[in-house]
Structure 1
């Protein structure tokens, strides 16, 4: 079985608020820990009505206090929004509080639109080389070799760094630095196969990693029946359509027949965005996830389930883990 992990956006659902969403995230992390998911990551997004994990390190500190064994981390921190020293201090603090449990995934997208990016950075002046330089600088703070400037806490701590991406840029950088690579196939699968190929072919071993390690994002919404799972999935469908039209919303309740109401072009866009998905009963999800794994050969899957009802979301992750753990049927003699 390919190891499974969870990516949580701490969804703010219609009629709720960020506080409840973050408490739900902690509850989900405890649930994931009991089900033996590998790790629990949260993602940095800004100016999004339906996402509560903007202050990712703070959210992770809360999740860490509510769990005891599962790895927790960022999937990811959008490094252009921050000085590398600040990130080193934040995740050094997390590692000091929860030793041996912290991951740090780094991305170069803003995690928002240009207006919010400008509000965080004050300017958008950058070049193609800045992100790699920032990654190397950040790694230097953990090693303690950036001269007089030191990350305390952070210096001397072993915090695995991951490169995130949805294009060949991240694949090439992860390969060059010898770091594990996480591809955002759960919402941008277009270049997945080419990026995996580039990363594996160009990988150079490092102190952190001796061979390539690929994690792929994957949507999984599992319920007792295909029909129920497909209904639950209409919440994330609505959210994606709103986001793509420049109007991010709180996660709405399921809407029967939603996709059938969309124009053909919008339906095609949704199918493409959500092509890396398992949506259905446990049997259906087991088959769909097996087909995806057979095609892509990942080392790990990072599963996300944007489900309106929190109890249904907990159940989805439980049914998924139970489904993939089932032994393969014996061949008849």
Structure 2
């Protein structure tokens, strides 16, 4: 595959990433003479014609969603095309690694750095939500850490554009199950707060080195998301109460984006955010204890 010319324009280099849906290649745009990243949707090779149409629609949806978002923390999509019967997405090439790779290589991320990463992801999400786009698949693998220090959010492949129901149905569960907000697991329509919950789960993974709700199967993982509180993070430092706030089961009880941004900014400076304390659930000791559902404005011991 390396060296192959795609759509008469993009010369493939080495593969730089892969996942369940496809493979990402470094490529050279021989028209504009620049290096780009191309995502090859290999899943199209193994599905029916009707599912190929859905996959193509989702691919176009990703390009359309990303195009509506104007922010430096969102990976730019240059083009979407069909080649050899499957869709390809041409994107800005980010030299670096994903947050998932960083956790895998280093076991965990320093809390202040994790807060800085979270701050940029939140800013990308705010820009997306302002444009009427929900990401719906925020997770460590979709957060890119550039070698130059930038943080970028990528892969809007299952994004839901406000007013567009072409490729998604009410109650359809899409995304990585251990980063799905509880309301999404229950089949409710997601909102911006659902992306913030996924951000909280992503930051938990960054500082603890493991997903907060992953269990032995997708079903038990979804049950944990809905019914269980995450184990109190041991390495989160000042970021701990912010993660707790973002992981509230009730979307109405989570901080709004403005509050979350302020909390993350304080945590990035190593300061424990005062406002986050109001969102921290009371944790009781004992094998059968469950966390209380303290609402914003109530007081209780720190989590």
Larger RCO (CA within 8 A; separation ≥ 6): 1
Q: TM-score, normalised by structure 1?
A: 0.24
